[in-house]
Amino acid sequence: MSRPTPTRHRRRLLALVLAAVAIGLVVVEPFPSGRVLLSLTDTHGIDAGDIPALAMLLVAACLAV
């Protein structure tokens, strides 16, 4: 197995930071809720205000791989 390069370390660190910011966005909810896109239960679900956080999580996942 090869040693991780400095570039790989930076990408993984950036992925970790993006994931942390995305989770913070979901917790703080700075964006208006908007329409419900996916209802998980009567009181929980994914709404239009969560889309920026979901996009950040997808970018973080791509960087981590």
Give the DSSP per-residue string, the chain: -PPPPHHHHHHHHHHHHHHHHHHHHHHH--S---SEEEESSSS-EEEGGGHHHHHHHHHHHHHH-
Indicate the pTM of the whole model.
0.72
CA distance 1 to 4: 9
State the pLDDT at residue 1.
61
Could you give the number of structural domains in the chain?
1
Residue 1 lies in a domain: no
State the pLDDT at residue 43.
80
Q: Could you list the pLDDT tens digit for every one of the 65 residues in the chain? A: 667 688 888 998 999 999 999 988 888 877 777 888 888 888 888 888 888 888 999 999 998 88
Question: What is the domain range of residue 37?
Answer: 6-64
Residue 17 lies in a domain: yes
CA distance 54 to 62: 13
State the pLDDT at residue 5.
83
